[in-house]
Structure 1
Amino acid sequence: MKVIVLGAGVVGTATAYFLARRGFEVEVIERQKGAALETSFGNGGVIHASEVEPWSQPGMPIKILKWLGKENAPLLVRYGAIPKMWHWGLKFIANCTEERFHANTLVNLRLALHSLGVLQQIRAETGIEYDVRTQGVLKIYSNAQSLKAGIATAQFLSGSGLTYSEADVTECVRRVPALKGTASTLAGGIYFPRDEVGDCHKFTTGLAERCAELGVKFHYGTTVHGLERGGNGIAAVATSSGTMRADKFVASLGSYTPLILRGVGITVPIYPVKGVTITVPGEAWPERPPIPVIDDGRIFGLVPLGERMRVSGSAEVAGYDTTPSAARCAAIVNNVISVFPDFARCVDQRTAKYWAGVRPVTPSGTPILGPSPIANLFIAAGHGHLGWTMGCGSGEVVAAMVAGEQPTIDATGFALADH
């Protein structure tokens, strides 16, 4: 049986891998010249079950209104985007209740923990090198109230498998000596020992090579124009390289999934939210953090990737634009320097790489995995800021569904109808 996967990001490539492992004939269609060259290319780099809370949470709608027009806002909604997203926005607001937020967080945690195990399995099987670090993640807080709330959330999630330990200021500095100079500004932190770090692009490229060894055929540089109906399902994909036929299809196109599926009458509640990262050489800062540091108040992540450092911390609703905003990049860098002054040594305009991609966000903040209303068409998209965290597990779950098998985890909450 032949399956075509649309999209060679981390989710699509992982899906192809697990389909090929099951003996399917698999082809992958990707408009870029290689795997993981869009949203999976320059993401934050952390595989973190500790950050599974959706953006749709109590109090967020009021915050977004206050942040309108502010270039340094953690989540900026451009005025021009509002008319196009009102329906999605109403669903987002509906998911901001305490009850929905807790339920959606637990759905994400279930998949994130499963995905971490699957990633570790793939790593052991394939030996892919991708700047992996397995020493955990430290989340720091600048005020006692936020720290208390963070600990309460971690305690709540620990009942479903999250592992954490509280860290006073001394412990934070012990784990990350580079915090010593600004220790007086900290209230404490939380350490998450199971979180990992790795370069998503390197991993996905390596996984695509393993897929090819299993017989998967990649059609790079090929744009999907639409799906063609036939009988009771999808018969083919219309592409820039001609029509391609298969028995089953998996749409894993990230933020572009709704644009393709609406052509066959399927509404997918995914909206693009731009994120930016700045990647710099780390050699100018020998005392740089050995593990990722997530700053709760200033909302940035500082992540070691091999000999590089990557900074993330921005969300901007601006349609499908992927141009890094100079003002927002500068705001992130300044936030990092306020905690780690020596980071300024690394930010050389000649070597700093500024990148932006659009995260596929659902109103619930949970991904869509599984069958569509069309019998032989499946969806694997909508992971928001957790694509790297959930990618491998999503591929394994969707491959099982395509094969007609029961997924290895409870799939409640992932269906299109749940969104």
Structure 2
Amino acid sequence: PTMWGWCARLVQNCNPRDYGINKGRMVRISNYSRDALTDLLAEVPLDFDMQEKGTLQLFRTEKQVKASKADQDVLTEFNSPFEVLDRDACIAVEPGLAHVADKFVGGLRMTADRTGDCRMFTLALAEKAAQMGVEFHYGVTIQGLARDRMRIVGVDTTDGRETADRYVCALGPYAPIVLKSVGIKVPIYPIKGYSITLPVTDPDAAPQSTLMDETHKVAITRLGNRIRVAGQAEIYGYNKTLDREDTDTVRYVVNDLFPKGGDVEQAEGWTGLRPMTPDGTPVLGPTPYDNLFINSGHGTLGWTMSCGSGRLVADLVLDRTPEISTDGLTLARYGQ
């Protein structure tokens, strides 16, 4: 029932009007997140293979080029810089594509985008936080939230009850399970995705930054001397098993576009669950409980939206006015 209800809401959002609204919300928090990351790195330098070479959305058909006009309109509205590229211009940005020039017709390049290894970033940030006094309790299972009327009074875990003045639920696809214990229904569902990471064999024939194959919805990113390829979407509950054939699509795409760039036979596979909302927009901020906040539902854009979401929710927790509008980003859009 949960899955089918979520799917029904997803279908309701599959129209030009809602697409434009939801895309605008995502661009708003993404742009803010880019600025928040800049501020963070100025204060706390971190090493995570970051590059500032933009993102190229690659189109294999003229139909995709025409369809991108809707995205261009949203990017223009939110002052996000971009370039519309023909085949030769795409090759100028990503020279490795010269080997497969007959397989695409053009692209849309987001010039201000940055790339980086989100795992390296998270580990480095956690280390800095620990040095500043933050305590991480690993290997502990949350059993539920304890409430007293309209306030949360504790988090029950396998290590006992943890108490605080205010609480933030940032549990990704597991947020609905914990929030359900206090009667909050948030439409976040786990969508399974896959990635492979492979060594670069020819730096000039490998991607230089990030490229999104619009046909296969697969992202290819250069991370130093590695290439990470991620994509696919499966509705498979909370299953996280990984078989070799599960990564066939991402292996195909990187071989198809950068056949000489990396060694797929040495690729390491990975799978994870994306916390997806039916409208694609995260759920940030207040709940019906005075001292409980949410930071989840970022879908495939968790890395893109992470720093901005964290800053926005932190402002709300500390009773500060956020620097951007929270309209359409909170639980209120679902009637709660």
Normalised by the shorter chain, which TM-score bucket?
over 0.9
1:122-151 CA deviation, whole Å, 9 max, x = no partner? 111111110000011122111112112214
State whether residues 232 and 249 of structure 2, in contact with CA within 8 Å, keep that contact through their aligned partners in structure 1.
Answer: no
Residue identity matched to 2:157: T
State whether residues 292 and 304 of structure 1, in contact with CA within 8 Å, keep that contact through their aligned partners in structure 2.
Answer: yes
Hey, what does 2:161 align to over in structure 1? 243
TM (normalized to structure 1)? Answer: 0.77
Aligned residue among 36, 39, 45 for 1:121: 39
1:386 and 2:301 are equivalent in the alignment: yes
1:404 and 2:319 are equivalent in the alignment: yes
Any idea what SS the aligned residue of 1:314 has? strand
1:361 and 2:279 are equivalent in the alignment: no
Inter-partner Cα distance in structure 1 for 2:253 and 2:128: 39
Inter-partner Cα distance in structure 1 for 2:56 and 2:32: 21
1:248-298 CA deviation, whole Å, 9 max, x = no partner? 111000000000110111111100000100001114555212121211123
State whether residues 284 and 346 of structure 1, in contact with CA within 8 Å, keep that contact through their aligned partners in structure 2.
Answer: no
Aligned residue among 237, 257, 263 for 1:339: 257
1:287 and 2:202 are equivalent in the alignment: no
Inter-CA distance 156–402: structure 2 relative to 1 (3 Å threshold): closer
Q: Give the number of equivalent residue pairs.
A: 334
Inter-partner Cα distance in structure 2 for 1:128 and 1:285: 24
Aligned residue among 62, 86, 91 for 1:144: 62
State whether residues 191 and 236 of structure 2, in contact with CA within 8 Å, keep that contact through their aligned partners in structure 1.
Answer: yes
Any idea what SS the aligned residue of 1:85 has? helix
Inter-partner Cα distance in structure 2 for 1:205 and 1:111: 23
Any idea what SS the aligned residue of 2:68 has? helix
Inter-partner Cα distance in structure 1 for 2:48 and 2:297: 24
Hey, what does 1:100 align to over in structure 2? 18
Inter-CA distance 286–153: structure 2 relative to 1 (3 Å threshold): closer
Inter-partner Cα distance in structure 2 for 1:232 and 1:317: 34
Structure 1: tracts of 5 or more residues without a match: 1-82
Inter-partner Cα distance in structure 1 for 2:203 and 2:42: 32
**RMSD of Structure 2 on Structure 1 (CA):** 1.5
State whether residues 314 and 328 of structure 1, in contact with CA within 8 Å, keep that contact through their aligned partners in structure 2.
Answer: no
Inter-CA distance 231–146: structure 2 relative to 1 (3 Å threshold): closer
Any idea what SS the aligned residue of 1:247 has? coil
Aligned residue among 208, 213, 217 for 1:299: 217
Inter-partner Cα distance in structure 2 for 1:372 and 1:100: 24
1:204-233 CA deviation, whole Å, 9 max, x = no partner? 111112222332221122111111113531
Hey, what does 2:332 align to over in structure 1? 417
Residue identity matched to 2:44: T
Q: Which moved further from structure 2: 291-300 or 301-310?
A: 291-300
Residue identity matched to 2:143: H
- What is the deviation of 1:152? 4.2
Aligned residue among 216, 221, 233 for 2:151: 233
Structure 2: tracts of 5 or more residues without a match: none
Hey, what does 1:79 align to over in structure 2? none
Any idea what SS the aligned residue of 1:407 has? coil
1:204 and 2:119 are equivalent in the alignment: no
State whether residues 285 and 342 of structure 1, in contact with CA within 8 Å, keep that contact through their aligned partners in structure 2.
Answer: no
State whether residues 151 and 166 of structure 1, in contact with CA within 8 Å, keep that contact through their aligned partners in structure 2.
Answer: no
State whether residues 276 and 312 of structure 1, in contact with CA within 8 Å, keep that contact through their aligned partners in structure 2.
Answer: yes
TM (normalized to structure 2)? Answer: 0.95
Hey, what does 1:154 align to over in structure 2? 72
Any idea what SS the aligned residue of 1:262 has? helix
Inter-partner Cα distance in structure 2 for 1:168 and 1:101: 26
Inter-partner Cα distance in structure 2 for 1:145 and 1:217: 51
Inter-partner Cα distance in structure 1 for 2:87 and 2:29: 32
Hey, what does 1:88 align to over in structure 2? 6
State whether residues 95 and 364 of structure 1, in contact with CA within 8 Å, keep that contact through their aligned partners in structure 2.
Answer: yes
Q: Which moved further from structure 2: 153-162 or 295-304?
A: 153-162
List aligned pairs for 1:259-274, cutoff 5 A: 259-274=177-192
Inter-partner Cα distance in structure 2 for 1:346 and 1:242: 47
Any idea what SS the aligned residue of 2:264 has? coil
Inter-partner Cα distance in structure 1 for 2:100 and 2:204: 18
Inter-partner Cα distance in structure 1 for 2:150 and 2:102: 65
Inter-partner Cα distance in structure 2 for 1:323 and 1:165: 39
- What is the deviation of 1:325? 4.3
Residue identity matched to 2:165: D
Any idea what SS the aligned residue of 1:190 has? strand
1:373 and 2:291 are equivalent in the alignment: no
Residue identity matched to 1:360: P
Any idea what SS the aligned residue of 1:294 has? strand
Aligned residue among 296, 301, 311 for 2:229: 311
- What is the deviation of 1:113? 0.1
Inter-partner Cα distance in structure 2 for 1:325 and 1:317: 16
Inter-partner Cα distance in structure 1 for 2:131 and 2:161: 25
